[in-house]
Amino acid sequence: MGGHGETGRGAAVRALLGLLVAGLLGGGQDFDLLIRGGRIVDGTGNPCYLGDVGIRGGKIAAMGRLGGRAARRTIDATGLTVAPGFIDVHNHSDYTILTDGNAESMVRQGVTTMILGEGGSAAPIGGRQGRPEFPADWTTFSGYFARLLRQGVSGNIGSLVGSSQVWTYVRGPRAGPPSPEELEEMRALVRQAMEQGALGVASSLSGPPGSWIDTGTLAAMCETASQYGGIYSTHVRTEGHGVFEAVAEAIEIGLRAHIPVDILHLKIAERKLWGRMPELVAVIAQARAEGRQVEANVYPYRAGQNNLASIIPPWAHEGGTEAMLRRLRDPGLRARLEDEILHGIPGSNWYNHYTATGGWEGMLVVSLSNPKYKQFEGKRMSEVIQALGGEPLEVLFELLETNGGSVPTVYFHHSEEDMRCALRQPFVSIGSDGAAVAAAGPLARGNPHPRYYGTFPRVLGRYVREEKVLSLEEAVRKMTSANAAKVRIYDRGLLRPGQRADITIFDAARVIDRATYEKPHRYATGIEYVFVNGVPVLEKGRHTGARPGAILYGPGKRAATASRPPLFPFGSSEPRPFRRCRVARCWGTLVRRTTGGTHADDGGRYYRRSAATDSSSEAGTVQSSIRSQSGAPIPLTFRVAGLR
């Protein structure tokens, strides 16, 4: 079940041939790969145990004590931990994987699946959005996913549709409530995204354009996604003063739209409120006790990343970046801007990064597009202000004006103790909020947040091994099955026979992050092997260059696909139990009688067989010709134990 990728006719034929070759010419090998003697942490949270894992055809074929079983390749995992591949439920690699599909910084953390999309997403593109920030040769999720499949990517990819992406498509960079016609257009865009494979709706509400989207509009978008089995993933409206109200709004949206809610990077990012995380998790726990489907995720750091432009009040952003920069240059607005930046806006729910961090020393500049200012990458804003001279706000405006209105920035705004409190909660999973980059090449620019390189190894090394905040089994559950369940992907996230072979093997005694705020471009250590769909992408800490990742489509796409006959009977992504016969071995499916003739059944989908080769009720080999959608005959051979 779940989200393994859709393939075209050519890929389907290759898969069929591969299965036939594996079945007929396997030379007596039980598995393609056998992982022996590892400590198995299966993703359920249950205690680990020593055992073996056999992989065949991209899936886990067997587990346990597999002595005497043969394989084309065997890995001795003695002293290593074997776990499901890590699922990053909050990832921003939408465009970096187009630059480098190897997803180096993620694969080297043990990540096998990246879930993309927050306020912005890779689609839809067009409408009133203006020129996109990144060049795109697609406008919809279908086009984006096709682009990824053409290029190839080392990990699996799923995506949510961003509420800000939908908002700007319909309204452009404008505040104010949408008209009924605009709201219906927004719902139609969400509907299209869900039918093309989006996993749900995501939002980022702390700044424009997300802060312009009212609760009712968000609920309407989510109600549409709910009809397709989607989720609502949200960066709440504020994580500072008003964080309790912001979490309550997220829960309310879930209630109105009948949709599960996942709160992104749960935190209290306001110094004056530090220490109140137990109260905040109690709010979520109470909602869960009342039957609400609400969960959260965290990253294991006490700093976040946003943009220097987020310090500018929301009203100044209306009309887009150029309009904002004109306002920064307007002497008549200078006094208002200064007052609101330094003191906030009384009575509003705007999250003010300046007041939250307590001053300029709580900000670290990530990257600057203007070569003149490159020397300040990785520096605190207090250091930049001192070096450039002048009033702090003059320096802030100068940086924004000379760098296209965008300066990615790390903000040190929440406490370690609060983060640990959230991390311990059973309904809180792990998500990086980072992107796939690399320590060399075009993606090694700037000074990104260390979570891009270190999130998952940091949990395993610091918070499991060193500080024992979590058990190893619970940490792995939070990285795997907990995240798979959130986005309704059920064929990954556990080590179980029949699951897709996304597997991470690591040295629990050595795994640790190495990236720091000052030197972030450092890969983690201790991740030994990573397999995606049974294919090695990391071997002894080295990337293999393989790109076997699939698109993990949401339930809306899967349901639409299930309603159409596949090109051939191996196309089912959600096989159901065999009916009408007992199968000894069957390359494909089974056969059954119907009133209209004999059909092959691949779990609910039927293909008319040639009447001349109708099967008997006796056991044995059945040879048949099954016609595809195009009418072309596809010869198949079945070995059936007998009809019933």
Q: pLDDT tens digits, residue range 493-531?
A: 999 999 999 999 999 999 999 999 889 999 999 999 999
Sequence-ordered list of residues with C-beta below 8 angstroms from that of 599, at least 6 positions apart, any chain: 591, 592, 606, 607, 608, 609
The DSSP bridge partners found for residue 19 are none
Predicted TM-score of the model (pTM): 0.79
pLDDT of residue 52: 98
Q: pLDDT tens digits, residue range 262-316?
A: 999 999 998 889 999 999 999 999 999 999 999 999 999 998 888 999 899 989 9
Backbone dihedral angles phi then psi of residue 99, each to the nearest 5 degrees: -75, -40
Distance CA 277, CA 425 (A): 11
Q: Where is average pLDDT lowest: 312-321, 532-541, 581-590? A: 581-590
Average pLDDT over residues 100-118: 98
54 neighbors 60 (Cβ within 8 angstroms): yes
Count of Cβ atoms closer than 10 Å to residue 420 Cβ: 17
577 neighbors 182 (Cβ within 8 angstroms): no
Most confidently predicted of 300-314, 319-333, 540-554 = 540-554
Q: What angle do CA 200, 205, 208 make, to 5 degrees?
A: 120
Q: Is the per-residue pLDDT at 4 higher than 90?
A: no
543 neighbors 107 (Cβ within 8 angstroms): yes
Q: Is the per-residue pLDDT at 330 higher than 80?
A: yes
Distance CA 411, CA 390 (A): 22
Q: What does 41-86 look like in DSSP terms, one character per residue? A: --SSSPPPEEEEEEEETTEEEEEE--TT--EEEEEE-TTSEEEEPE
Instruction: Give the dihedral sign, CA 477/481/483/486.
Output: negative
pLDDT of residue 14: 52
The whole-angstrom distance between residue 177's C-alpha and the CA centroid of its chain comes to: 30
Distance CA 400, CA 307 (A): 10
Where residue 563 falls among pLDDT bands split at 50, 70, 90?
A: low
104 neighbors 437 (Cβ within 8 angstroms): yes
Q: Where is average pLDDT lowest: 21-30, 262-271, 421-430? A: 21-30
Distance CA 340, CA 327 (A): 14
Name the helix (H) or strand (E) containing 625.
Answer: strand 620-627
Distance CA 380, CA 388 (A): 13
- More confident call, 210 vs 590: 210
Please give the share of the chain, as a percent, with pLDDT higher than 90: 73
548 neighbors 107 (Cβ within 8 angstroms): no
Largest CA distance in the chain: 91
Sequence-ordered list of residues with C-beta below 8 angstroms from that of 625, at least 6 positions apart, any chain: 609, 610, 613, 633, 634, 635, 636
pLDDT of residue 564: 57
Q: pLDDT tens digits, residue range 451-480?
A: 999 999 999 999 999 999 999 999 999 999
Structure tokens at 245: 């109200």
Tokens 């995204």 sit on residue: 193
Count of Cβ atoms closer than 10 Å to residue 327 Cβ: 21
Quote the radius of gyration of the chain (alpha carbons, Å).
Answer: 26
Alpha-carbon distance values, 404 to 44, 133, 167, 228, 308 (Å): 47, 11, 22, 39, 11
Distance CA 317, CA 175 (A): 9
556 neighbors 595 (Cβ within 8 angstroms): no
152 neighbors 172 (Cβ within 8 angstroms): no
Q: Where is average pLDDT lowest: 152-156, 345-349, 501-505? A: 345-349
Please give, one letter per residue, the 3-state secondary structure of 132-155. CCCCCCCCCHHHHHHHHHHHCCCC
Sequence-ordered list of residues with C-beta below 8 angstroms from that of 70, at least 6 positions apart, any chain: 28, 29, 30, 31, 34
Sorted by where each starts, the structural domains of the chain and their CATH numbers stand as 84-302+414-543 (3.20.20.140), 306-411 (no CATH), 572-643 (no CATH)
- Amino acid occupying residue 532: V
Please give, one letter per residue, the 3-state secondary structure of 161-220. EEHHHHHHHHHCCCCCCCCHHHHHHHHHHHHHHHHCCCCEEEEECCCCCHHHCCHHHHHH
pLDDT of residue 17: 54
Alpha-carbon distance values, 607 to 85, 116, 585, 620, 639 (Å): 36, 37, 19, 20, 17
Nearest to 301 by CA among 206, 382, 406, 422: 422
Strand order in the sheet with 606-608: 590-594, 597-601, 606-608
Q: What is the mean pLDDT of the chain?
A: 85
Helix (H, G, I), strand (E, B) or coil at 452: helix
